[in-house]
Amino acid sequence: MPSENLTKFCSVCHKEKNITEFYKAKDGTHNRRGECRACTRIGYKISYDRLKKENPNILRDIHLLKTYGITSKEINTLVKEYNGCMICGRKDPGVKEKNWHVDHDKKTKTIRGVLCMGCNTGLGAFNESPEVLRAAITYLTEKKLAIPMKPKKVTRRLKKIQNYDLRDIIKEKGTEWFENEIKNIRAWKPKNAL
Ligand SMILES: [Zn+2]
Ligand SMILES: [Zn+2]
């Protein structure tokens, strides 16, 4: 019998419905679930609402459990235990940030710690590399050039260019000039670059 003609009674709403109105299940009659799709969805919604009432962070917790195997409550405990961000010590995850970041080591698949958003972004910007971070410290403390800043007065001509709309400049100098400028900017490298 083709499956589209098969019907089945829903164990929850007791309505007779086409078999396609039931989610597939290995052990159910005609390999379908006992309750219809609509009732299944209502069931999920009820259990979700109940879980959300018990724990407003349920969705984040599901994500955290799936990814790291810990919950937001455990993260908060870690934050308390280590007095805030484990790098900078701030007591909140960042301006406008709701959640602390779980920093993990991709190689060893371990949780390294809990960080504020800024420190987490910082680690990422430095490729999570102790060598580059050490080089950054050397740069900040010893290697810095410390050239005194002497802001110069911009001539009227340059000021005019500054206030110009870029479209006007391109119109005046041509697209070839503009493309060349872009090429030069892209090719520019600071001296002594790493
Ligand atoms: Zn039903
Ligand atoms: Zn921090």
The answer to whether residue 172 is domain-embedded is no
Determine what percent of the chain is predicted with pLDDT higher than 90.
Answer: 50
Q: What is the CATH number of the domain that holds 136?
A: 3.40.1800.10
The answer to whether residue 77 is domain-embedded is yes
Q: How do residues 66-107 score in pLDDT, each as one tens digit?
A: 999 999 999 999 999 999 999 999 999 998 889 999 999 888
Residues 40 and 20 in one domain: yes
- Rounded to the nearest angstrom, the distance between the alpha carbon of 23 and the centre of ligand 1 is 11
- Rounded to the nearest angstrom, the distance between the alpha carbon of 50 and the centre of ligand 1 is 20
Domain count, the chain: 2
- Rounded to the nearest angstrom, the distance between the alpha carbon of 30 and the centre of ligand 1 is 16
Residues 139 and 64 in one domain: yes
Q: What is the CATH number of the domain that holds 39?
A: 3.30.60
Determine the Cα–Cα distance for residues 134 and 112; give it in Å rounded to an integer. 19
Q: How do residues 173-185 score in pLDDT, each as one tens digit?
A: 888 888 887 787 7
The answer to whether residue 167 is domain-embedded is no
Residues 77 and 136 in one domain: yes
Which one of the ligands is nearest to 32 CA? Answer: 1
Range of the domain at 24: 3-54
